[in-house]
Structures are given as C-alpha cells and as structure tokens.
Amino acid sequence: MLSEKQDIGNPAQLCEELSKLRLEYTEITVQEKVEKEQIMNTYMQQIMGNMGSPPLNSDDAIKLRG
C-alpha cells in the first residue's frame, strides 16, 4: 500500500494499487459468502434435527416446570 508521502501521480501505479485492492475486496466477499453458507447449513441441520424430535405434550410441560 502506498504511504501518504509516496507519489501516486503515475497512473499505472495507481491502477496497480486499485487492482490489488479490488482483488482483496473480492476475496473478502467470497469468503464472507462461504462462511454465511456454512453457518446457514449448520443452522438448518440443527433446526431439522430439532423438528425430528417428538413434540412436547402437556405432561412434558409439567415435568419441565417441576
């Protein structure tokens, strides 16, 4: 990354820096998407697992309070 003291008057150098930043941004957004998909898959598996359990009835609710 260029420091404040370095001259960025060279258009080729500026374009190179912008390309690097664009690549870094793309990598971050791709990684974010992958992580979101993993989290949602884990969440959905947990929800489906919980739904597979038999539902609570009134006797179970009484047992849980006691």
- From first to last of its 66 residues, what are the pLDDT tens digits of the chain? 556 566 657 888 889 999 999 999 999 999 999 999 999 999 988 887 777 766 655 565 555 565
What's the rounded Cα separation, in Å, for the pair 34 and 40? 10
Enumerate residues 6+ apart whose C-beta is below 8 A from 15.
none
Which residue is listed with tokens 């420091």? 3
Domain boundaries of the chain, sorted by first residue? 11-50
